[in-house]
Structure 1
Amino acid sequence: MIEESSLRNAESLIRFGTEKLSSISDVPRLEAEVLLSNLLKINPIKFHTEDIGISPNVMDKFESMIESRFKGIPIAYLIGKKEFWSLSFEINSSVLVPRPETELLIENAIELLKDQESPKILELGTGSGIVSIVLHKELLSPEITATDISSEALYVAKNNAHKYRITDINFLVSDWFSEFKNEKYDLIISNPPYVDKTKLSNEELFSIGMEPDIALYSENDGTSDLEFIIRNSSMFLEHGGWLMLEHGYDQADYCMREMRTAGYSKIKKSKDIQDIPRTISGTFLNE
């Protein structure tokens, strides 16, 4: 418990939170400010310009949030949202917390389809819906189907689409291609599970341990789902259609070999903001 008498303003409370989180976060003060500003519904900049009083009720809630964060619960789950592509998305424990690396996947898709009218897109494993929603906003009248094996994840995705008044994304429960037969798409895009849990350090396990296993981990050194998508996607692509995937930091060469074996051409690797290979794309020409 924290002593109420010593924490009568925001700065004191933030210092308490910063000290508590310093052993589990690289940016403990920032996280403390985000949590408290969310509770107070104010811009965090006010913590640096004003002396803000704190009620006992807010103090109790903040202490609980700090304790939850200390146990490994992501900030996005605690405040129920995450910014991505300069948009705010609803996030809960049914879905992964969006990472900035995934913006590269979207950038590549936009560059590929920016001049195409009404491209048909299939997103596999949509989670919170961020990829499909951003593509819907950025492209010319795309026809998007977004799938996930988790109905709870799709509920979040639908809420996010509704927030941005998007009503024409087809959200569908499907285990990869299980619900598809003869459909053809110009682009199949996915950020599938690709983490090998056995290779993670304790620190890495702590940082993602509260997120859904089904969206993170894959068998065979993290490649099982990537392999399945690569080997089965071509039958659902139009002639000259594209497959675009996000993958792990050490999986680019593996994905390239698999795509070549599956008959893809014009295969291209892209690096993220940390100069790490993060996405791969290729086109399939039906013979």
Structure 2
Amino acid sequence: MITIGEALDSGTRAIHAQRVSQTPLLDASLLLCSSTGFTREQLYAKSHIPLDQQTVDTYTSLVKRRCAAEPIAYLTGRRDFYGRTFTVSPAVLVPRPDTEVMVEQSLAFLDRYEHPKVLDLCTGSGCIGISIAAEYPGVEVCLSDISLDAIEIARTNSRTLLGRDVEIVHSDVFSSLQDRRFHMIMTNPPYLTQAWYEDTEAQVKAEPPLALLGGDEDGLHIIRKIVQQAPDHLEDRGILIIECDYRQNGQVARLLEQRGFVDIESRNDLAQVRRIVWGAFHV
């Protein structure tokens, strides 16, 4: 029987050897927490305690999958985002800290509106819209996605984190949202080019290509559709906020301008890289 400390050490060394992570100790800790039900603090406090064989087998399996570049969030089924723990699966993108700037900026706009209605388009796990609903009581949130599997994950997160169901619509961009208007539309759509996708790490390629690849040579096919159609779904002075790659930032701003949006601005993410672009539309 091996102890918690020995298991943590062996898992860390295995992950480090495969060069799939810059944080092998953290990864091994999270996998051992998932296997034992302990917190990370408890792992260290109980490092001398032996593990039963079933727990060892579970942990060993998770470590092997991590060594094969499967994302930690898929292995544990959880990911923290904006102070809350979201359920995730291979059906959705792993929520990233850089996307939290989308939530911060959206919240800053909500006071402009009385009884604000917002749409989280291409919602995935629902992390953006659900975070806004949790942070801003009284906002009316609608989530939408083309993936039925993603919708089920978003529904689970809504019930777990909000204690209720928010509106969730199965829709290819705005196809199922005819005649609906919102004060704000937030979207983290697919925007990678095929070349950028090929250059990503193996663990990124484990995420759903449907949520990564934006289409067209520049990756902006879906963003073009959103920019073109969004004015038909915005209230007067409504705002469209888009996450995109820093290499697309200027082009997305031009798309907004060409469609008639005004007050176009952008904001950096935590790494001080251009991450989101937005504009307002006067109906």
Same fold? TM cut 0.5: yes
**Deviation of the 1:93 alpha carbon:** 0.9
Sort the Cα spacing of 1:168 and 1:66 in 2 relative to 1 into closer, same or farther, 3 A.
closer
Partner residue of 2:15? 21
Seq. identity, %: 28
Equivalent residues of 2:124, 2:154 under 8 A apart: yes
**Deviation of the 1:168 alpha carbon:** 5.0
Equivalent residues of 1:115, 1:140 under 8 A apart: no
Gaps of 5+ in 1: none
**Deviation of the 1:195 alpha carbon:** 1.1
**Deviation of the 1:235 alpha carbon:** 1.2
- Picking from 32, 35, 49, the partner of 1:36 is 32
Q: 1:182 & 1:47 partners in 2: Cα distance?
A: 53
Amino acid at match of 2:68: K
- Picking from 6, 11, 16, the partner of 1:12 is 6
Amino acid at match of 1:283: A
Equivalent residues of 1:114, 1:139 under 8 A apart: no
Q: 1:240 & 1:88 partners in 2: Cα distance?
A: 33
Partner residue of 2:257? 260
**Deviation of the 1:61 alpha carbon:** 1.0
Please list every run of at least 4 consecutive aligned residues from structure 1 whose deviation after the TM superposition is greater than 4 angstroms: none
> 3-state DSSP class of the match of 2:183?
strand
Q: 1:47 & 1:162 partners in 2: Cα distance?
A: 30
Amino acid at match of 1:88: T
**Deviation of the 1:114 alpha carbon:** 3.5
Partner residue of 2:43? 47
Partner residue of 2:270? 273
**Deviation of the 1:27 alpha carbon:** 0.3
Note if 1:160 corresponds to 2:157: yes
- Picking from 89, 92, 106, the partner of 1:92 is 89
Q: 1:201 & 1:225 partners in 2: Cα distance?
A: 19
> 3-state DSSP class of the match of 1:141?
coil
- CA deviation vs aligned residue, 1:8-49 (integer Å, no higher than 9, x gap): 111111111111111111000110011001111111122333
Q: 2:176 & 2:256 partners in 1: Cα distance?
A: 23
Q: 1:75 & 1:183 partners in 2: Cα distance?
A: 37
- CA deviation vs aligned residue, 1:225-247 (integer Å, no higher than 9, x gap): 11111111111111111100111
What TM-score comes out, normalization by structure 1 length? Answer: 0.93
Q: 1:11 & 1:254 partners in 2: Cα distance?
A: 51
Q: 2:187 & 2:194 partners in 1: Cα distance?
A: 20
**Deviation of the 1:166 alpha carbon:** 4.2
**Deviation of the 1:207 alpha carbon:** 2.3
Note if 1:142 corresponds to 2:139: yes
Gaps of 5+ in 2: none
Equivalent residues of 1:194, 1:225 under 8 A apart: yes
Note if 1:212 corresponds to 2:208: yes
Q: 2:24 & 2:49 partners in 1: Cα distance?
A: 20
- Which range moved further: 165-174 or 212-221? 165-174
What TM-score comes out, normalization by structure 2 length? Answer: 0.94
1:57-206 → structure 2 map (5 Å cutoff): 57-114=54-111, 116-200=113-197, 202=199, 204-206=200-202
**Deviation of the 1:275 alpha carbon:** 0.6
Amino acid at match of 1:122: L
Q: 1:168 & 1:152 partners in 2: Cα distance?
A: 16
**What value does the CA root-mean-square deviation take over the aligned residues?**
1.4
Equivalent residues of 1:72, 1:209 under 8 A apart: no
- Which range moved further: 47-56 or 180-189? 47-56
Q: 1:122 & 1:218 partners in 2: Cα distance?
A: 20
> 3-state DSSP class of the match of 1:219?
coil
